[in-house]
Each structure stands twice: as structure tokens, then as C-alpha cells.
A and B are shown apart, each in its own frame.
Chain A
Amino acid sequence: MEDNKKQTGKIVDTTSIMGNYAIYSDEKVNSKIPEGPVAEKWTNFKAHQKLVNPANKRHLDIIVVGTGLAGASAAATLGEMGFNVLNFCIQDSPRRAHSIAAQGGINAAKNYQNDGDSVYRLFYDTVKGGDFRSREANVYRLAEVSNNIIDQCVAQGVPFAREYGGLLANRSFGGAQVSRTFYAKGQTGQQLLLGAYSSLNRQIKKGSVKSFVRREMLDLVVVDGRARGIIVRNLITGEIERYAAHAVVVATGGYGRVFFLSTNAMGCNGSVAVQCFKHGAYLANLCFTQIHPTCIPKHGENQSKLTLMSESLRNDGRIWVPKKKEDAEAIRAGKLKPTQIAEEDRDYYLERRYPAFGNLCPRDIASRAAKERCDAGYGVGTGNAVYLDFSEAINRLGRDVIEARYGNLFQMYEMITDDNPYETPMMIFPASHYTMGGIWVDYELQTSIPGLFAIGEANFSDHGGNRLGASALMQGLADGYFVLPYTMQNYLSDQIKVKHPDTNAPEFEEAEKKVRARIERLMNIKGKRSADSIHKQLGLIMWNLVGMGRTAESLMEAIKQIDEVKKEFDTNLFIPGSADTLNTELEKALRLEDFITIGKLMAIDALHRNESCGAHFREEYQTPDGEAQRRDDEYMYVACWKYNGEDGKPVLLKEPLKYEAIKVQTRNYKS
């Protein structure tokens, strides 16, 4: 293994030069964590929070942007409670949101398998998996409500996998030593989302939720310091529309497509986060972006997205590369097949390095280990791939069992690669998948703008530096079904006397004008390049310089290059057609401009965090055996970034993290 890479002459700790990129502030951040022991905080909160009575709920309007697990479950539940909900999505139906693509499962602390699971253990695993950069109080609450989610979904008619006795089945996911993951074939996200969508439909029929599809939010409207509405573009007619409410909830997912190639859907974007940022909402921990270890490798320049192979495959698949460099070379040259490599010549590097967790170690660790082997010259395929091999499991369990467990995933793999994974090992490589960072929220899921809430992947709250598998579905539904509908009332109880906000107010007028001016500016650049071609350029910079391994040098270079991309965008973008009708190129351009903003902020966040932690691996900070080296004394805080004008440097505020229920330690998946 390489030694600690600290080299003389190069900048390692950036603290002295951060002034060139950011302004550090001492302003306090109030996370509103309730008093008391961690296990009692949520109960105490609910017992003492303010509520809105049924007659008043009818007079309160709530905008929910997004219809994924978080958005749909929140909109449905708030509708059930009696609020008036306006629900928006960019797709043609709420059922299309990208939560639908989640494959593997959802965690809960049911302990149905009698393997020693508990709320505390799920809480502990999640905090440890997040490398001690998440809020204890939030994570405990998440673990606490996880069991309610499973009950809820079964009651909705979600067809989870079951045992012959009729009870629910479980499997294991990375970062855990228990089987706590509930699943519906390899389509768990689909089934949970359709469950939330069905509850949403019931409210739409009742009239408590109004659904607006093919609408894209383009600005937040803030009146007297409170979120009061949104400006959207009707994607079919091109019309700009205004909607007002007593509160706004954003559930618009993550910004993983900043890398262009990712496992996210084509429409996923971080634009709403940027809009909220520009109105004063903090963006937190943006450098924590998850690179998922098991994706189908990139095949060529025309590729539009990468496809995930569920982490559940690591229950039975074993990850390896050849032990000998010459074997790897021969495989890359097409002279040797993986099946011809003898057992003793295979390096099952995860089992070797992390014997206690083996192939089921957390995602950040598995991704980095794959990159380490490929960088060292042991990669297969194009050189950027490793094997995920089922031959042992097929021998042990039979092909039928493997087919029943993963049939649809194997079929998906074969469709894309033209290889049959029953006969030859799958090839996989890490890809951008999920963003732990996002809009900063307090314990009540409220952002730093009163009346603006953020839930699901869009917020930063529960996963710290790295998210464990099967925890995204858990968090989305926890926020939407069980947390936000309570915590929001603490805010809304003060709003009962506020009249329905008027969309003719000057703030709406102003916001619409700004949106129109922005669209006109983009339409009038009239350069030569499509939004996608510039987006690919940005993606490469992000992947090469702000990807799985980062250095102070690479990040400074990234910031420079991102500024150049912005210049290219401002002067050479071309959007055909007109803005006052359906225009997919305009949609892409608007999203891209915001990705450029996020990309730069991500690089600055990564540059300021002089440690390796979770998914953020600064190569200068590693232990002699190549593991992430945290610096708890300096960086045990949430980095909250505040907007400071188009040309101003972003302002950094710190929310210190305190660990009372869990002893802070170095993550260990070896023993």
C-alpha cells in the first residue's frame, strides 16, 4: 500500500488559502434539536409541539414540489390530515419520479429475523456508516419510525417478498451485520412509490391534493422573509405560472447528475436547491456525494447514463480482480476470459481487506477499493471495471435460486452488455448515485428560510458522509409519512390567521419577471453548443477532479475549469425553438446552469474539508493502509453554505455535531 501522500511543496491543508474561495462566519446555526436523551427526543417533541386543529387545517395551503417517495408520501399524508396541498412534478405522472428505480430494499429495525437488531442498532449502524458526520437526533428518529414505514406500506397493499409461512422476508445490505432489509424483488422503490402514489391518488380524488404534472419550479417566492409560493414553467405550453401557499416543501431529489453520467434519471436535477440557496437557504455538506460501487461500466462517448446493479447482489456475488497484473492485461486485450482464471489467482480484495464485512462493506469503501485496484493496473474490461461473480453462489444454491432472487437484474445486465452473467462474471464500476449533501434543515426539516421545508434526498439531514444501502427509501418515507406532517404543524400553527397569499403581490410579480429575464438571456446567447455537450464537459471535470479521490490541487483546478465552463455556457450555448412552448433544450439549459453553480460549490466544500470522511476522500488524508483519515477535532461539523451574491464568495457557517449516545470511533469493517 501507498504511504501517506503528504508531499512537500504542494498544498495539503487549504485553511490558509480558503479566503480566496469562501468567507468563514461565526454566525450560529440553530438546529433546534430537542432536549433530553436521544431515545426520548422525538417522543418529547411530539408531546409538546404545536398542532393545528382540523377546522384551521382546511384554511392552510401547502405546496409540495416533487412526487418521489418523500414528496408523494408527504403530499398524501398532509392531504389526509386536512390541509390543502398543491403537488408538482416535472414528469407526465407522479408515478414516474426517480424513487421508482430504487432496486434493493428498505431498512427497518423490526428484528423479525431474531438476529439481534433493534432501533439502537439501526441508529448506530447509520451513524457509523455516515462516518460520524450526521446528526444523532435525526438518525435516531429515523430508526425509530422505520418500523412504522413497513407497517404502513403493508397496509397500503405493497407486495413485499414473503416466506412460505406468509411472513415478511429480509435480506442483508452493506454496512450491517443483520438482515433488516425488506424488499419487493429488485423493484422495491417501484412498489413503495406506487404505494405512496396510490395514497396520493386517493387524496387527489378527495380534492385535498391538487396535482400539477409537467411543471418545473423555476423560483421560490419569499414574502416578508417567509416562503410563500413558487414560480413554475408549464413544460407543455411554456407558460410561466404562479402558485401561492402558507408553506413550501421541496422534495426534488439530489444533484448527482452534476457528473452528467450517473445512475439518476435524465430529468433529475439540483435546480430547486440552487433557487432556495439564492433566497438564503443554506446548502450543506455538498462534497458528500455517493459513488455507488456496483454499476455497469461506461461503454462509450455517446452514453447518456449509467445503470445500477443493486447492492443486494453483493449478498451472493463476490467481487474480484486478477491477482496477477499480466492476467489483467491479457483480459483487457481480450486474450483471456475471467472463467479461465484459477481460484488461487483471483484477488477477492474486499474479503481480503475487510474480513468482517467482506463484500458487504459500505459503498464508499467498496467504491474506493475498486478504484484502488483499477488505478494500480488490475482493472478488467476497459481497465475501469472489476468482476462481480456469482459462480460460487450458483454452485452452492443452484441457478434457480439465483434466478428467483436476482432474475430481473441479470436480465437487465444482459440487455445492456450482451453478456450472460449466469455464465461469465458481471463487470461493474463505481458511478454517481446519491447525494448525502443538500439543503440544510433543522430537526423540524425546516430550512433557514421560515416556511420552506426540505425532505428526502433534497435535504442533507440523515446520512452524514455516506449513506448505507436501503436507507434512502427509509429516509424519504420517514420524512414524508411520519416526520414532516408533524413538525410542519409547529410552523403552521402560527399561520392560521394569515390569509391565503395573493399571487398578484409584488414579490410574485418580481419573481416572475426574473424568471422570464433568465429564460430570455439563455435563449439569446445563440451560440453553437447544445446544453448536453456542455454538461458532458462539466461532468468530466467533476468526475476527474471532484470524484472518488480528490486533492487540494485537483479541487483548485476544478474550480478554475468550472469557471471556464460557465463562460462557455454564457457565450456559446444554443437553444433552438422558442421559449413560449414545449422546449426540451431550454429545460436542459436551465438545469445545467444550476449544475454549474452546484459543481463549483461542491468543489469549494471539498477543498475546505481537510480530511477524508465517508464519501469525501481527500487523498492527502489517508492512513498508512489507505483508509480514510478523519480529523474530528477540526471538522466534526456540518458545513452550511450561504449565498453571497452572484459574484460574492459563499459564506461558510458551521453547525457543530455532538455525539452523546454513540462513542465516536474510527470506522472499522475489518474485524
Chain B
Amino acid sequence: MENSINIKLKIWRQHGPKEPGQFVEYPMNDVPTDISFLEMLDMLNEQLVERGEEPVVFDNDCREGICGMCSLYINGNPHGPVGSITTCQLHMRKFNDGDTITVEPWRSAAFPVIRDLMVDRSAFDKIQQAGGYVSFNTGGAQDANAIPIPKEAADEAMDSATCIGCGACVAACKNGSAMLFVSAKVSQFALLPQGKVEAARRVRAMVSKMDELGFGNCTNTGACAAQCPKNISLSNIARMNREYLKMKFKD
């Protein structure tokens, strides 16, 4: 009962960060439509290795849409043409026989290409290290139910905390801004009593680190939220701007 299609891949190949890259075409025949996009790339790599060539390098790990490791611009869309999923959750049944599929790495100044489709997203870690935490040492916590938190606040914090740090927001933004990513973390903590104590310090530290690392400015086009595989809302950015203003007034 298995259906299959023939496709043509146009994949960005680039051996190193400083080397020039180019698109290389790979025709792929008899691709089962039940397999995932990354399994299709596995198939391609298996064929390349059989021919003695080097496989296409791409980041991936959990293959269930949660680790944030996979990326890829597919036909001009981060994580492919289907909304609200990551590349690893995309299946070949979303493509048609005869399609040409263009596959590129995230393209952003802050995410340099390492090889082929793999990029360096360590800038995200650096922003988190600047202040994406509650300053609290293991062992000193009071009972977990000591502070009731309204369900709405907890749910909203959870929605912000759903960010998987994949970088699609930065890749989708014409300015290469990391505002959605940073604001999701700032919001999660700003919504919870545990995070409020350091809210001002946190937003200052994270925003200035973001600026320092070469991410672009936000011009409210909203491409980030539209392309986010986890539907992180633009309202996070609004909340972060309020938190930032509050911090400025305090100063």
C-alpha cells in the first residue's frame, strides 16, 4: 500500500565556515511518502556513502520535535512548508511527485554555517547564560505548594517555556532578530513569582547580550511567530518590551 514519489533535491553544500558554498542537485527516486523528511535525507546519505561520497551534514537528534536540534530552510520556509512542526516531524506525504525541494541552512549573521546544513547556534546559549535563570541554589527550596500560582499565569508561563531554541525565529526574520527567543524566556520568568525578584536584572542582561552578539533589531514584522514550530506568541515580545521599560524606569 506504500506510496512513493520521485523528487529532485537542491541542497546547499559548504565544506566549512569560510569556504564558498553552492547548491548541488540530487534526484531521488522511489521515496516512500510515509517517511519523514530527515529519513529521506538519511536515504540520500546512504546512497552517497554507497557511492563513496561524503554525506550531507545536518543537525538532528530526538526526531520528535522537542530537542530543537534540527533546522533547515525547506523551499523558503524554516522547518518546511507545514506550520507548527519541526523539520523532523515533516513527512514526505506533504510533497508531490516531481517536486523540486530546495534545502538550505539557517541563514543569519549570528548563526555561521559549520558545514552544509549545520550551523553554530551557540549565541543562544550565551544569551541564556547572561541571565536566563532564577538565582537559587540546590537544597534551599520551600514546599512546592507554599506559593499558589494562578493557573492562568502558570499556563501562560508554560506556553512561553515551550520554546525549543531551534533558531527558526532568527532565520525567519529579515533583520536576524532574536527577540522572540529572548522574550519567551524573559516572559516565562516574569509571569512566575519565583522569577519576579530578578526580573529587571534579567531583562537587562539578556537584551544587552543579544545586542552584543550581532542579532538584528525587531521591526515588528512578525515573521518569527508565524514560522515558530512551537507557536511562541508575539505577545512575549510585547511583554519583554514592558519589562525592559520597567527596568529603565527603575534605573
Contact = CB atoms under 8 A, between A and B. Distances in A.
B219 interface: no
Contact of B57 (A100, A191, A584): A584
A166 B139 CA distance: 23
Given A300-B35, A307-B64, A95 B157 contact: no
Contacts of B63: 265-266, 304-305, 307
Interface in A580-636: 582, 584-585
A154 B151 contact: no
Contacts of A154: 141, 144, 194
B93 interface: yes
A415 B91 contact: yes
A110 B138 contact: no
A295 to B, nearest CB: 11
Contact of A303 (B35, B138, B139, B157): B35
A416 B33 CA distance: 11
Given A154-B144, A307-B64, A201 B138 contact: no
Interface stretch (A144-152, A241-249, A468-476): A144-152
Interface string B109-135: 000001100101110110011101111
B158 A93 contact: no
A168 interface: yes
Nearest to B114: A236
A411 B62 CA distance: 17
A265 B128 contact: no
Contact of A100 (B62, B124, B161): B62
Interface in A62-94: 73, 76-77, 80, 91-94
B24 interface: no
Interface in A190-216: 190-191, 194, 197-199, 201-202, 204-205, 211, 213
A342 B43 CA distance: 42
Given A154-B141, A532-B42, A159 B154 contact: yes
A112 B146 CA distance: 12
B36 to A, nearest CB: 7
Contact of A157 (B35, B48, B120, B188): B188
A187 B66 contact: yes
A112 B143 CA distance: 11
Contact of A91 (B36, B69, B120, B140): B69
Given A101-B62, A412-B64, A151 B35 contact: no
B8 to A, nearest CB: 19
A561 interface: no
B245 interface: no
Contacts of B122: 92-93, 213
A68 to B, nearest CB: 11
A198 B61 contact: no
B244 interface: no
A299 B69 CA distance: 24
Given A150-B144, A168-B144, A80 B154 contact: no
A574 B50 CA distance: 9
A95 B68 contact: yes
A92 B121 contact: yes
User: Which of A236, A266, A532: most chain B Cβ within 10 A?
Assistant: A266
B120 A163 contact: no
Contact of A191 (B40, B48, B130, B158): B158
B143 A151 contact: yes
B214 interface: no
Contacts of B89: 412, 415-416
Contacts of B137: 80
Given A91-B69, A159-B192, A574 B49 contact: yes
Given A152-B138, A303-B39, A159 B188 contact: yes
A157 B141 contact: no
A-B pairs, top 4 by smallest CB distance, nearest first, are A166-B148, A198-B133, A151-B141, A155-B141
Interface of A: 73, 76-77, 80, 91-96, 98, 100-101, 110, 112, 148, 150-157, 159-168, 184-185, 187, 189-191, 194, 197-199, 201-202, 204-205, 211, 213, 236, 265-267, 299-300, 302-305, 307-308, 334, 411-412, 415-416, 418, 481-482, 485, 528, 530, 532-533, 574, 576-577, 582, 584-585
